[in-house]
Amino acid sequence: MPSKPVQLPSGNWRSVAVVGKKPDGKPLRKSFTDASKRAAYRKACEAEALYHDREVTEDSQLTVKEAIERLIDLKRPVLSPSTIMGYEVIQRTCFQGLMDIRLCDLTSTIVQKEISKEALVKSPKTVRNAHGLLNAVLRQYHPDLNLQTRLPQKTKEEVKIPPLSDIETIIKAADEKGDHELALAVMFGAQLGLRRSEMCALTFADIKDGVVRIEKALVLDNRGEWQVKPPKSAAGYRSIPLT
């Protein structure tokens, strides 16, 4: 139960409720104030009741680490191997201060502190990806918690296009060594704008009547094995005329 309301020097009343747990397992308390003694106590009671209501659900008892593992297993049949591997990397390297906390004990403040700590050593993109996975976990297993957090600002990534002379030098060096497959890969990348994974998945069946059809990619899965997968979105399917 919340603490008995105490009158402050300002004349307002304050009652303290337990609304969660800290990372060390100790109770997380929050003060509720109001000009009315009864209203202050009612606010505290409502907050504490909400915390206990969230706590009793089975899924919310999962730790962040357990919930990520469960989400990965749930989504494995429908996500690409590279996406699954990315999730597992996040679990091993990001938000380590949150992994042993139960979902029902998480608060926006706890998550924000971890975000601020990670932002000092990781790129904004990495932090945002980790936060995106955490949000997906919460939507699946603890939808009562709506995170109100601030993420590091995005940084603009400039695409550097090598000059034609550099591309010609690379192709010439590959040809002189007799590595015609490498020369061909460089030309595919430079002239058609293909990703490495798309080039590696190409077969002769994908090239017909002067057109290259892009409809798959070759990627590593979490076991270190190469897998052919479809594009992540409909925009990944495309036909490109050969030069």
Output the six-digit token pair for 243.
């030069």
Distance in angstroms (rounded) separating the CA atoms of residues 96 and 101: 10
Q: What are the tens digits of pLDDT across the range 201-210?
A: 999 999 999 9
Q: What are the tens digits of pLDDT across the range 139-158?
A: 999 888 888 899 998 878 78
Output the six-digit token pair for 85.
């591997």
Strands 238-241 vs 211-214: parallel, antiparallel or unpaired: antiparallel
pTM of structure? 0.60
Residue 22: band (very low, low, confident or very high) from pLDDT cuts 50, 70, 90: confident
